[in-house]
Structure 1
C-alpha cells in the first residue's frame, strides 16, 4: 500500500521538475533574445530589403537540416527509431543546443531520446560520439575537397607559423599518450571503433550516417549562401561555403551555447575576408542566426516540452 501511494507522489515531483526545467529554459531563451536585441534591430533594415525568394530557399534549407540530422542519427544505431519523433527530437535538440555550451543541450536531448527508445546509456553515448566524429570528419573532408577543386577559393599563408608546427604534433602526442596510459580511455576507444565497424557492416546504415552528415553540413552552408545572395553581396559560392566550414570548425572548439558569439564572430570575419563589406557580413550572419537558431527556438522549446510530457525524452 505504501509503495502504491508513493507512485503519485513520485510522478507529481517529476512533473514539477519538468515544469521547472521548462520554465528555466524559456526564461533563458528570453534573456538571450533580449541581450541581442540591438543586433537584431541593426540588421532588420537590410534583411527586410533582401530578396524574398532567396530567403525562402534559406528557410527550406534550414528546415531540411533537422531531417538530415535525424537520418544521420538513425544511421548511427542498429535499432529502428520512430521517424516522426526522431525528427522532432532533432528540432528540440537544436533549441536546447543554443542554451547550453559546446553542444551539451543537443547531446542531453538525444541521449534521453535514445535511452527512451530502448538503447542503453553506453550505446546511446557511443552512437552520439560516432555521429559527432563523422560530422567533424565530413567538415574537414569538404574543406579539403573544396580547396583541391578550387585552389583560389582561400588564400593560404605563404609561411606556416612556427607555433603551429609545434602545437599540432604536441597535441596529437598528448592525446595518444593519454589513451595509452588510461585503461578506461583504451576501453572507450575500443568500443568506439567496434561500433564504427558495426555501422559500416550495413551499407544502408553507413549511407544514412555519412549521407546525412554531408547533407547536414552542406545545407547549413547553403543557408549562408542563400542569405548572402538575398542581400546581394555577390560573393562566390565556394568562398561562402569555405567561410562556413572554417567558422563552424572554430566554433566547435569554443564552449559557447550553440556557438553563439564564437560562430558569429568567426563567420563574420570569414565573410569579410571573402570580400563582403563589414556591415553586410554582419547582416548575413544575423540572417543565418535568425533562420537556424533564434526563430526556431520558441517552437523548438515547445516541442521539447511536448516530447518530455509524452515521455519521449
Structure 2
C-alpha cells in the first residue's frame, strides 16, 4: 500500500501503479512458490536430508504449483477486458459495473505479463531475479542463524521448507503478520519434529522476528519521514510542472497556427 501511494504521489497513473505493484509481487512470490515446489519434492523424495511429512512437503508443493498455474492462466486474460465488458453490456448501469468488476482480473493480467517481460529483459531480468531470490535467502539465513544461536541443528532444507510454509500465516489479517507469522513458524517446525520447543524453536523464531521484522522498523520510520518530505516537495512542484507543460502546449499550438 505504501509503495502504491508513493508511486501515485510521484505522478504515475493509477492503472500503471497498480500493474507495477502486481508485477513486483508476482516476481517476488514466483520465487516463493517455485521454492516450495522444488524444495518440497526433493525433501519428500529424500534428495535433501531431513524429516519430510507429506503435509509439509508434497501438499504445499501441490498448492504452490496450482497457484503458479492460476497466474499463468491469468496472464492470458486480455488487457482490454474492462472495455470488452463495457461494450458487451448495452445497459449503461450494468456496463459500468461490468467494467469495474473486470478491473481486478485485467490489472492482474497486465501485471503478470509485465513481470514475465521484465524477467526476459537481458539487461534487467537477471538483477530482478537476484533481488527476489536475495530477499528470501536473507530471511532464511537469519532464521537459520537464529536456530544455530540456540544450538539447534536443523537441516537447511527443513529450515527453507518450514520458513515458506510458516510464512503462509502472513496472509491472515493481522498488522504486519504480528503474532500470526510467529505462531505459524513455531507450529510448522514443531510439526517437522524439531526438538526442544521451549528451548530452541520458540526462542529461535522470536529472535528471527526481532532481527528481520522489529529492528528494521526504526530505519523504516526514518525513511518514511524522508519520503513524506519528498512527497511534499513533489506536491509543491506539481503546479510549476503543469504551468510549464501548459506553456509548451500553447507555444506549439501558436507555432502550428502561424505556419498555417
Classify the TM-score, shorter chain. Answer: 0.5 to 0.7
Specify which of 38, 45, 54 is matched with residue 156 of structure 1.
Answer: 54
Match of 1:141 in 2: 34
Q: Give, in angstroms, the shift of residue 157 of structure 1.
A: 4.6
Instruction: List per-residue Cα deviations over 1:252-295 (Å, max 9, x = no partner).
Output: 32121121111100101122233132112110111011111222
Specify which of 145, 153, 170 is matched with residue 252 of structure 1.
Answer: 170
Partner SS state of residue 258, structure 1: helix
Is the Cα contact below 8 Å between 1:235 and 1:276 reproduced in 2? no
State the alpha-carbon separation in 2 of the partners of residues 138 and 225 from structure 1: 19
Match of 2:189 in 1: 271
CA, structure 1 residues 135+307, in 2 after alignment: closer, same or farther (shift >3 Å)?
same
Partner SS state of residue 306, structure 1: helix
Pick 1 or 2: higher relative contact order, CA cutoff 8 A, min separation 6: 1
- Could you state the TM-score of these two structures normalised by the residue count of structure 2? 0.64
Instruction: List per-residue Cα deviations over 1:209-237 (Å, max 9, x = no partner).
Output: 22211111111111100110111111112
Match of 1:195 in 2: 114
Is the Cα contact below 8 Å between 1:243 and 1:267 reproduced in 2? yes
Q: Give, in angstroms, the shift of residue 127 of structure 1.
A: 1.3
Q: Which runs of no fewer than 5 residues in structure 1 stay unpaired?
A: 1-106
CA, structure 1 residues 208+124, in 2 after alignment: closer, same or farther (shift >3 Å)?
farther
Q: Does 1:303 align with 2:215?
A: no
RMSD: 3.2
Q: Which runs of no fewer than 5 residues in structure 2 stay unpaired?
A: 82-97, 235-260
Specify which of 218, 221, 239 is matched with residue 140 of structure 2.
Answer: 221
State the alpha-carbon separation in 2 of the partners of residues 299 and 190 from structure 1: 34
CA, structure 1 residues 157+246, in 2 after alignment: closer, same or farther (shift >3 Å)?
closer
